[in-house]
Chains A and B, each alone.
Chain A
Amino acid sequence: MSVELADVVVAQPATIEEAVALAADAGARYVAGGTDLIVNMRRGVTTAARLVDISGIAALKTIVVEANGAVIGGGVEIARLVGHDGIARLFPVIAQAAVTIAAPAHRNVATVGGNLCLDTRCIYYNQSEWWRRSNGWCLKNRGDTCHVAPRGERCHAAFSGDLAPALLALDAEVEIAGSAGRRRMPLRDLYVEDGKAHLTLAPGELLVCVRVTRKMDAFAYEKIRQRGAIDYPLAGVAVGLTMRERRIADLRIGLTGLASYPFLAAGLENLVGREVDDDLLKEIDRAVQRQAQPMRTTLAAAHYRRLAAAAVARRLVARLAA
């Protein structure tokens, strides 16, 4: 057994309140599917004295579909999202993004909360202890230098969840449970651009559910990756679009894999009222290229990821407008 897991204590609460109480101690971490956390613990980049296993909490596992919206529990497995009739009907973009996550055996256990709170990734971080030690560690773990940007002051590891861009484009809201009770906030406020601390959750806080309301007409998600399965996104783009009389009434572009946090492209409100023609697609391409500034956190070149994100955004807008 790996050293990092040998001493860990696993708690298996049945309710959210019990889980939050158990996670209040320093050194406690939540685990659900474990498809990211267990790997990171085995590699020594994440440590925990206590794992609070939330996979048995029924209250986290519900999907409630309403007339024009849905509430998705943080403990809902990705595979359930892929096959859910109500989600497929109201929010096919969520299922589209979900089915691109990892591979079937991961999706069977990995959860919505886990994907939204996924640790950031980098070629200098997601490596064995031996590899990282040989390289003098890194800013995100034990070291003081970011090998991606040695003269910079922050960690540039990339956020690589696939659900976040789709849910950002849907204007989703998340509910958080902590020792001080529950709070709700827009999903975008869950993130800040810092690869070492990209979540705004306080220690011990738990993502309970995501609320989405259908405000736009058409959505799509597309992911660029090295292989057709398993891989995290080199670039992931979600587009939400509403057209009125052949003109843009609302346009959002959610991006992942390109920065330390998932984000919505800014300034698109200036495109409202425009027709979707070649000039507009070029403007979208330029806007995405300007805002997506990936660093060299993957084996693929950063400029490729920037160009790919822009190309996918352009393509999805053209397809949804057609």
Chain B
Amino acid sequence: MHGSARPRKRLLRVEINGRWREDAVLDGALLVDYLRETVRLTSVKTGCDGGECGACTVLLDGVAVSACLTLAVRCEGRSVETVEGLLKQGRPSRLQQAFHERLGAQCGFCTPGMIMASEALLRRNPHPSDDEIRAALAGNLCRCTGYVKIIESVKAASEASS
């Protein structure tokens, strides 16, 4: 690297789970590393090395994205939500509660990504069909549950909101 191309940090202003913050980040920093190591939101998992597993799914301006494929600097002035942000007064959301009650989580590694992908779905479609749930979670891999309990959990959360 030479001349003006020297790596530099810049100030990133971003709203995370409803609170604005500013941090110095490298241009090449990925959102997943920024969230885990700087903001200490360790629900955001690194499951694979290439955007294939969905364990790092977060919401960027309400839209599900893979944090491992997203440059942190692209979040300037925008809103990022992780599963930690779904708690209301320290209590789990309806969707989190449904994953708990319907055994949608086993080892738990894929769960934050599953819940955020489901959250994105339920916000735009509060009463999805089983096929719509499957389509919305198609990019989130789970090696424990076989998906049946996860789909039941999302379904239960959508029914509880009627």
What's the A-B contact tally at a CB cutoff of 8 Å?
98
Is B64 an interface residue, CB under 8 A from the partner?
yes
Instruction: Find A10's partner among B73, B117, B136, B140 (CB 8 Å cutoff).
Output: B73
- Cα A229 to Cα B8 with chains together (Å): 38
Are the C-beta atoms of B30 and A105 separated by less than 8 Å?
no
- Cα A150 to Cα B74 with chains together (Å): 42
Q: Answer whether A1 and B74 are a contact pair too, CB < 8 Å, given A9-B5, A108-B65.
A: no
Contact with B along A166-186 (1 / 0, CB 8 A): 000000000000000000000
Is B79 an interface residue, CB under 8 A from the partner?
no
Are the C-beta atoms of A6 and B26 separated by less than 8 Å?
yes
Interface residues on A, range: 20 to 34
In the complex, which residues of chain A have a beta carbon less than 8 angstroms from the beta carbon of B112?
A: none
Residues of A that sit less than 8 Å from B by CB: 1, 5-10, 12, 27, 31, 33-35, 38-39, 42-43, 49-51, 53, 55, 102-106, 108-109, 128, 228-230
A and B contact pairs by CB, cutoff 8 A, 26 listed:
A1-B26, A5-B29, A6-B28, A7-B1, A8-B7, A8-B28, A9-B6, A10-B71, A10-B73, A12-B73, A34-B70, A34-B71, A38-B51, A38-B68, A49-B1, A51-B28, A53-B74, A103-B140, A104-B120, A104-B135, A104-B136, A104-B139, A105-B64, A108-B64, A128-B49, A230-B52
Given contacts A8-B27, A105-B65, A228-B138, 11 further A-B contacts (CB under 8 A): A1-B28, A1-B30, A7-B7, A34-B70, A35-B51, A38-B51, A103-B54, A103-B139, A104-B135, A106-B51, A108-B64
